[in-house]
Structure 1
Amino acid sequence: MSLDNQHIKIRSAVLGAAGYSGAELCALLTANPYFELCYAFASAGREPEPFASLYPRFQQQIDILVEPWSDNLIEKLDIDAAFLALPHEASEEIAPKLLAKGIKVFDLSGAFRLKQPELYPQYYGYAHQHPELLAQAVYSLMEWQTGPLGDLVSVPGCYPTACSLALLPVLKAHLVADDCIPVISATSGVSGAGRKASLSTSFCEVGLNAYGFFKHRHRPEIEQNLGRKVVFTPHLGNFKRGILATCVVNLKAGVTPEQVTEAFTAAYQHKPLIRFSSKSPNVADVAGTPFCDLFWQQDGEQLVIMSAIDNLLKGAAAQAMQAANVRFAKPEIAGLLPGALV
């Protein structure tokens, strides 16, 4: 598919452009020849600021002004797509207003990920104000996306992306014991906590620690994806970006290594952003890329699956870009890899 026979570029805006995931979205949209980054917004009350002054590494690459957001701007926006890299409650408030104007919404928060509104007070700390949109939102774990993407796309969380991509092949192939509860231990870099300064995520304070026992907001999302309960323990590591997830399951009696390999091959042989590794993956090898690296090791009925992603890219902005490419009938990985115009 060549760019010459495509329609006019898809006009886009990023809300939350001052944050880490929002900045990555700005970069991806600028690199994607099918999209045009028309607006970049940050929180209300900020002074307008050149994007490159917020992120100097993008000097002479991204020339756009990051402006303060106001809902009054919605009527003036001439865009096709809005990417929301916002806090959950802010996304939930703004998304319906954008949808009412006919703008396609790609939300990177957790505002529309869970299908059960009663889970939001428990895991997100607030009551969902637009439960009707939970049924409308299409959850975009792209390697497992089968139906059409609608006007409201909910981009998966970073931990659920890493864990689900690791476990779904063997679960869908019915290789896991029926009574098995997967045990997941996953470690994220400090960028997962956002850009706002905090003592708990300062490099001088962070070593390696677990948190969110049984109560982490990504647990019900993972369980929703896998269709079964899990034991999920997240950790914070002293590195900037990336997630390494270790997933342990018990297989059904008699399942062979060849069957496990076939399950992964059948699931991902035509998925260009999945890479199989010959050894345990390293977050350093996926940092700055849209890939998910997978490795598995079997011992009898026990199976360990390792998954590594960049939390800001495959776990956020790159998956949003994948979804937008598909929603607008463009090549799925356009703008994500060099020479990806196919």
Structure 2
Amino acid sequence: MFQTRFRSLPKLFSVYRRNNYSTRSTVIQLLNNIGSKREVEQYLKYFTSVSQQQFAVIKVGGAIITQKLPELASCLAFLYHVGLYPIVLHGTGPQINELLENEGVEPQYEDGIRITDEKTMSVVRKCFLEQNLKLVTALEKMGVRARPVTAGVFSADYLNKDKYKLVGNISSVNKAPIEASIQAGALPILTSLAETASGQILNVNADVAAGELARVFEPLKIVYLNEKGGIINGNTGEKISIINLDEEYEDLLKESWVKYGTKLKIKEIRDLLMHLPRSSSVAIINVDDLQKELFTDSGAGTLIRRGYKLIIRESLDEFQQPDLLRTALNRDSDISSGKTSVASFLRELEGVSFKAYGDEPLEVLAIVKEDKSGVPKLDKFLASKNGWLNNVTDNIFNAIKKGNSSLQWVVREDDPNTAWFFSKSQGSFSKNGQILFWYGVESPEDVDSLIQNFSKNVSYIQSTDSSTSKAASQTRAYHTMRKTSSQQIRTFATTCNSNPNPPIREGSNKKKAKVALIGARGYTGQNLITMIDKHPYLEIAHVSSRELQGQKLQGYDKANIVYENLQIEDINRLERNGEIDVWVMALPNGVCKPFVDAIEHADGPKTSKIIDLSADYRFDTTGEWIYGLPELNSRQAIVKARKISNPGCYATGAQVAIKPLVDYISGVPTIFGVSGYSGAGTKPSPKNDVKFLNNNLIPYSLTDHIHEREISAQLGQQVAFTPHVAQWFQGISHTISIPLKEKMTSRDIRNIYQDIYQDEQLITVSGEAPLVKDISGKHGVVVGGFAVNAAQDRVVIVATIDNLLKGAATQCLQNINLAMNYGEYEGIPDDLIIRG
């Protein structure tokens, strides 16, 4: 796989073959983050075209070393192992504040600058050295040669000795220690400490120091790693992808949200870039997105570059430099191949209405013509290598969108930038090696008209295989597809047209049943009690909780029930006398076995049912326990079972979202799961501390979580699962990336899910990605999104589920209903069921 995909990268794979696990992991990171083969090849060539010290200056915030050291080391190791040597400079602000507090020193600031007296300086220096060594050590453990450069680089004068004490203003930069490090094959890891001519150490702002390094080395990239991952638009809350300073700077500073630190940052970056070549740019990104920012056209954070002002021309006379226009047009394949000439094309333009969009040097030129369909046509989109590398293409396309509410264009299937064009479109249709793209075309009739006109204009190519994917339609923007003679809609042999495990609508049992809840003090128990209170046939006979013994059971009106503290002998007695029909074990993991044993070993009819809400029996191999996920497992098996293991909340949502595609999966699906803090239970902990969760997201059990094993075991397919806790109360959101064996469209996949789940009352299939706020308090699962990447070999699916309801209590009630031969949905409120 590696040699096929990256045949032109011998350096990368010579390293891959000879190095250890660290190198292999960094190569895998590359494969996971790139957008296309073209992108990674051109960016590596781009970055290795300059001297090694001119690749990048990377400024690392102190908080990143504390909180994300493994990720930072991995990203830097990645660059090192592909032969790139960034100059790394780190700060240490948060660590200094903590150490000062421990020393009993209160930090003092003036004009946003830390006042650094001698005592503070001793802490600053100590902290810098500790953090520097920590990063160097982490890199060396990953097979990276790294050199601490903690002195001898920055010379400085006092910024204002009376006012700020030992704070410096950099006067010069000594390149020698940095160059020596790189020549020795080691990454230079710098602090922002400076020295006066007499040797006095001064504290310097790390951002300022990074800027001074950039002025001396003139790198292609200046990278600021921060936690936000970019500059956030204060009005929309969205991350800004690109800022073209020559075009946008003045208007940007007028925005109401651009103030204080944001305004200062933008001004400082502009001042820096004004002294650097136009090829230099600044990227503000999250540490996890470093590779994506460097090696893909779309990037990941905020890219800031000087750029050029954009131009719009509506006649040939408006082009003041005809030679630049001719150079740009020569990039067109028809012109470069001799099929037509520049002069012939220019004569064509003289007789039509058009708009030309470009930057001042015409690194990118786009020509939009009017079309009789009423949808303007992008006739040419011609970009140089620098135009792609510096994201001028995005600037031009944004300008086109401002001037054209709708647009159509055609690209060859083998165009290396096809993925980029997909990202700009709302729909597409391919035929005979050509792809029609469009945006802003809303009605199905208008789409049909575009497709018909496109089909007429594309010359017919006889296909040796009428079922090839090149003849398949792709309509990402529409929920319905029309099959015409020119289209072949893909079908899948394993797609189910009906549910082989249909819901049990009505049960034959109408007798009342007695329920005992063991350990029912938590959120799940409370929700189950509320539903049993409304159930036509279930009644609570006993509820056991050591902490709540003697208190009245709240939320239950059928009878006056008081919490008990049932012991093993009590359980045995109740079972022996046949007083309980359904036992619900709502206990922590690893606790319920003695209670289950007491039930099983009791003399008596043994007709009661046991539902376990913990994970204790989800991995049972004896066949005595049935895994109770009715929509995916055999309902008849649940009906016949005596002992049922209730699935986990995360596991239920993930299985529902992945199961229909099991036959199509290639590789390991990754699940990013986020739960409300009710999932952490009622026992106090950081994961259910509302104050701690405010404006926070807590990842935990990053590998081998029990739900990861549960999902993998039930699907028969290994998955990777990472759980998180967020600041809302209840509800789970899963974002799941699934690699595919074969090319599939979004519509293909959604059809599979709709066919399989069409009879399921508690599963909704949506074209849109569901929101967690809409699932809170609802009794089902919503699956949607179905976003397929441009290569059509990966789909991202989003699933939401209420962790307390369908993730626990509602599912438990379903299993009780089935086991007792009631109607499957008895007691589940109709007004809270999500319907498709």
- TM-score bracket, normalised by the shorter chain, equals 0.7 to 0.9
Displacement, 1:222? 0.8
What secondary structure is seen at the aligned counterpart in 2 of 1:240?
coil
Amino acid at match of 1:37: I
The equivalent residue for 2:632 is 144
* C-alpha contact 1:15 1:22 (8 A) present in aligned 2: no
2:688 aligned to 169, 179, 201, which one?
Answer: 201
Q: Which residue, out of 26, 29, 39, partners 2:542?
A: 39
Displacement after TM superposition at 1:82 (Å): 0.7
Cα offset, 1:246, TM superposition:
0.7
Q: Corresponding residue for 2:735?
A: 246
Q: Structure 1 residues 288 and 154, CA, compared in 2 at 3 Å: closer, same or farther?
A: same
Q: Equivalent residues in 2 for 1:40-59 (5 A)?
A: 40-43=543-546, 46-52=548-554, 58=555
Give the 5 Å matches for 1:296-315.
296-299=786-789, 300-315=792-807
Please give the alpha-carbon distance, in whole angstroms, between the structure 2 residues aligned to 1:106 and 1:168: 24
**In 2: Cα distance, 1:219 partner to 1:187 partner:** 14
- After the TM superposition, list the runs of 4 or more consecutive aligned residues in structure 1 that deviate by more than 4 angstroms: 59-63
Q: Is the Cα–Cα contact under 8 Å of residues 609 and 819 in structure 2 kept in the other structure? A: no
> Is structure 2 residue 759 aligned with structure 1 residue 270?
yes
Give the unaligned 5+ runs of structure 1.
53-57, 117-133
Task: Look up the equivalent residue of 1:76 and give its one-letter code.
Answer: L
Q: Which residues in structure 2 correspond to 1:74-85 (within 5 Å)? A: 74=571, 75-76=573-574, 78-85=579-586
2:517 paired with 1:14? yes
How far residue 11 of structure 1 moved from its aligned partner, in angstroms, is 1.0
**Matching residue within 72, 89, 98 for 2:569:** 72
With structure 1 as the length reference, what TM-score do the two structures score? 0.85
Which 10-residue stretch deviates more, 31-40 or 148-157? 31-40
How far the C-alpha of 1:88 sits from its partner, in A, is: 1.9
SS at match of 1:97: helix
Greater relative contact order (CA < 8 Å, ≥ 6 in sequence): 1
Give aligned pairs, total.
312
Q: CA deviation at 1:106?
A: 0.2
Q: Is the 8 A contact 1:185 1:232 kept in 2?
A: yes
Greater helix content: 2
Residue 107 of structure 1, aligned match among 612, 625, 628: 612
For residues 2 and 279 of structure 1, what CA distance do their matches in structure 2 show? 32
| Paired residue secondary structure (1:23) | helix
Identity %: 29
SS in 2 for 1:8: coil
- What's 1:153 paired with? 644
Does residue 164 (structure 1) correspond to residue 655 (structure 2)? The answer is yes
**C-alpha displacement of 1:59:** 7.4
Q: Contact 1:14/1:85 (CA < 8 Å) preserved in 2?
A: yes
State the distance in 1 between where 2:772 and 2:617 align.
Answer: 28
Contact 2:733 2:799 in 1 (8 A): yes
1:243-299, CA deviations, whole angstroms, 9 ceiling, x for partnerless residues?
Answer: 101110112223233431222022211110001233221222111121101102222
What's the Cα RMSD here?
A: 2.2
Q: CA distance change for structure 1 residues 339 and 215 in 2, over 3 Å: closer, same or farther? A: closer
Residue range with higher mean Cα deviation, 94-103 or 184-193: 94-103
Q: Aligned pair 1:189/2:676, yes or no?
A: yes
Shift of 1:210: 1.1
Q: Is the 8 A contact 2:687 2:698 kept in 1?
A: no
Distance 2:819 2:556 in 1: 30
Distance in structure 2 (CA, Å) of the matches to 1:62 and 1:305: 45
Partner of 1:231: 720
The CA deviation string for residues 28-64 of structure 1, in whole angstroms up to 9 with x for no partner, is 2112112112211113x64310122xxxxx3768742
Larger radius of gyration: 2
Assess, with a 3 A threshold, how the Cα gap between structure 1 residues 46 and 36 changes in structure 2: closer, same or farther: closer
Ranges in structure 2 where 5+ consecutive residues have no aligned partner: 1-504
Partners of 1:258 and 1:98 in 2: CA distance: 50
Match for 2:829: what amino acid?
L
Please show how residues 173-184 of structure 1 align to structure 2 within 5 Å.
Answer: 174-177=663-666, 180-184=667-671
Q: CA deviation at 1:339?
A: 8.0
Task: Give 1:294-333 correspondences, 5 Å limit.
Answer: 294-295=783-784, 296-299=786-789, 300-333=792-825
Question: Is this contact kept in 1: 2:533–2:557, CA < 8 A?
Answer: no
Cα deviations by residue, 1:296-327 (Å, 9 ceiling, x for unpaired): 22222220111100101111111011111111
